A and B are shown apart, each in its own frame.
Chain A
Amino acid sequence: MSDPAVYSAFQAVRSTVLWAAMSTVLVMVPGVLLAYALARFEFFGKKTISTLASLPLVMPPTAAGYLLLRLLADNGPLGRHSIGIDLNILLNWKGVVLACAVMSMPLVVRTARVSFEAVNPRYEYMARTLGHGPVRVFFIVTLPLAGRGLLAAMILGFTRAMGEFGASVVLAGNIPGRTQTLASAIFSAQQSGNEKQASILLCVALLVGFTAIFATEWLSRTRVQTGGRSESST
C-alpha cells in the first residue's frame, strides 16, 4: 500500500464497488416492478414506457449524463429552484450512483422482464386458487420462480455500473478520491502516462467483467430446471 499508484488504484476500485452496489440497490426495486408490469399486464403507454426504459442502452452515455445534468441543474425541472430543496447530487458520489443506476436500468429491466415472461402465469393462478392474494403470490411464487433470472439481472446491472464512465463523468466529474471510478481512473492514468496504474486497473476491470458474464451464463443455463413454460406436465 506504500506505493501511491497501487494505493490510488485500490481507492478507486473500493469506491467503484461501493457505488455500483448502491446503484444496484437503487435500481433493482423499481426495475423489477417495472419488468413485472411489462411482462404481465397490458396498459396505456406500455410501449412508450418500455422504450424509455431501454433508451440509455442506445444513447451515448455522455448524452444521458448531460440530460441528467440539465434536469438536476439549479434551474432545471428537478433543480433547487424548482423543487425547493437542494438534492446535492452534482459533482459528488451521489451523482455517480445516480448515473450508474440510470445507465444500468435497461439491462436490469430487460433481463428481469424475460425471466418473468418465462414463468408460466398459470402457476400464479394456481396459487390464487389455494387462497393466496395477488401480492403474496408475487412473493411466494413469481419471485422464486424468476429468481435466477433476477439474480442475473442484478449481476448485469452491477457490472454495468462498475464500468460506467460517460454519464458519471458529466454528472459528477472525475475527482480523484471523491468521484473517481475504475473507468475514470483508467482514463486519467492513461492520459497522464501512468502505465503501471492503468495496467493494475485494467486487470481489475477484466476480472470483474469475466466473473459477471460467466455467472450470468451459468444462471441462465440452469434456470430451465426450475420450471418455466417449458416444463412438461407428464
Chain B
Amino acid sequence: MKVPLDRFDLDVDYEAEHRVTGLFGVSGSGKTTWLEALAGLRRNATGRICCGGELWLDTERGIRVPPEGRNIGYVPQEHLLFPHKSVRGNLLFARRRALRRGVVFERAYANVAEVLELEPLLERSVAELSGGERQRVALGRALCSGPSLLLLDEPLASLDAQLRHRILPFLKRVRDAFEIPILIVSHNPTELLALCDEIVAVREGRIVASGRPMDVLTRPEVFSLAESQGFLNILPCRMAGHTLHSSTVRLGADGDGPQITIPRVNAPEGESMLVGVAASEILVSRAKPEGLSARNRLPVRISSVREAGHIVLLAAQLHESLPPIAVEITADAMEELDIGAGEQAYLIIKSSSFTTYSEHEAAGQDPD
C-alpha cells in the first residue's frame, strides 16, 4: 500500500499473523496515515488492502470500499465523541450497522458497558467527561458497532501518567474479552509490549523491523527510536498479600510465576493487575546476591544480548509464562559483567522501582 505524504511517501507491504498487532514509530513516521488508510479515510492511498478475506482496496482492479463499508472500529487519538449526543447516544451511533451485520446489539451493548464500566456514564453529556472516561467511551462506541477490526490510534498518548495507569488495564480487558483483531498505533514501547502479539516498526514511511514485540523493540535500529523514553517492562500478576508498607504479587497472568514485592496497593487478594519496571532500574548480578536491601532478587536466564549504541539491552527470561524482561546496562558495565545469551544471572529490583497499573489507587505512591 502506498500513500503520498508531504515529506515522504508511506510505502508498506505487511501481512499481520497474530490477533493484536502494534505499529511502532516516532511521531511523523507515517503510522497514523497507515491506520487512516486502513479505515478508508485516505483517498489518495493506492495498492491493495485485504482484511479477513474482504478486499477493501485494489487500485489495479479499481476497488475502493468507502469507510462506511469497511466495518471497522476506529478509536482516533482525539476520540471524536459526538458532542451533540450523550454517552449513550454515542454508544448507539453504530447500532444500524451492528444490526445489519447480524450482531445481537442489546447483548453486545451490555457486554461493552460492563467490560468498560460505562454504566454510570451513560446519561452524561460528552463535555462532562474526563480524559480517561472519553477514552473508554470512544472504545465502547467502536466495540458496539460489531467491528471486524479494531484500530486504536495512540490510545494512551492523550492521557496523563496517572490516567495511563488506569486505562491500560481496560485495554488489556478489551483485548481479552473481545475476539477481534486489533491494530494499535503507538510511539510508546510500553503500551505495545503490554498489549501486542507482534510489532511492526516504521520509520519515514518504511517498515524497519517486524516480529515478536521484545525481538523488535530490542533491535538497535528500533530501540534508538524509543531511546528517549526508555523501556518499561509490563508484567501481568495477581495480588498475593499485603504487609503494612508493601504488597506481594505473583507474576504471570494466572499467578503461577515467582513472587515479588511491590509498593502497597489497595487491591483485594487474587485480583489480576499489571506491574511495570523500567529497564534502567534493574541491576544484574552473575553471582547470587547476599546481604542486599533490595527486596527482589530473581534468578533468570539471559535469552539475548543486543548492543544499541552506548547501552546494551539484555532480555532475561524469568518464567516460561512471562514475556522476557528487558534490562538496560551501559556498554562499560557489560564489558565488566561479561555475560552472554543462555547464561544464568540474577535480577535485583527495589520494590519501590515497581509501578502498578490497576483500577485501584496505589497507597501513597507516585505513579511515575
Contacts and interface: CB of A to CB of B under 8 A. Distances in A.
Which interface class (under 10, 10 to 19, 20 to 34, 35 or more) fits B?
A: 20 to 34
Which interface class (under 10, 10 to 19, 20 to 34, 35 or more) fits A?
A: 20 to 34
Contacts of B72: 129
A124 to B, nearest CB: 10
B8 interface: no
B80 A123 contact: yes
A88 interface: no
A202 to B, nearest CB: 41
Contacts of B145: 130-131
B68 interface: yes
Q: Which of A128, A145, A225 has the most CB atoms of chain B within a 10 A radius of its CB?
A: A128
Contacts of B94: 130-131
Nearest to A128: B67
B97 A233 contact: no
A233 B83 contact: no
A129 B66 CA distance: 9
Interface string A102-144: 0000000000000000001011011111111110000001001
B76 A122 contact: yes
A226 B141 CA distance: 20
Interface string A166-180: 000000000000000
Interface string B76-119: 11111011100000000110110010000000000000000000
Contact of B134 (A126, A144, A227, A233): A233
B68 A233 contact: no
A234 interface: yes
Q: Which of B39, B66, B67, B84 has the most CB atoms of chain A within a 10 A radius of its CB?
A: B67
Q: Give the secondary structure class of A's interface.
A: helix
A128 B82 contact: no
A231 interface: yes
Contact of A226 (B78, B83, B96): B83
Contacts of A233: 77-79, 134, 158
B301 interface: no
Contact of A141 (B68, B82, B141): B82
B133 to A, nearest CB: 11
A132 B92 CA distance: 13
Given A225-B127, A233-B77, A233-B158, A129 B83 contact: no
Given A131-B96, A133-B68, A126 B131 contact: no
Interface in A67-113: none
B67 A129 contact: yes
A128 B96 CA distance: 12
21 contacts: A122-B78, A123-B80, A125-B41, A128-B40, A128-B66, A129-B67, A129-B68, A130-B68, A130-B94, A131-B68, A131-B94, A131-B97, A145-B83, A226-B83, A226-B84, A227-B82, A227-B84, A233-B79, A233-B158, A234-B134, A234-B158
Interface of A: 120, 122-123, 125-134, 141, 144-145, 147, 225-227, 231, 233-234
Given A133-B68, A233-B77, 10 more contacts: A120-B80, A122-B76, A122-B80, A125-B39, A128-B67, A129-B74, A130-B68, A131-B96, A131-B100, A132-B68
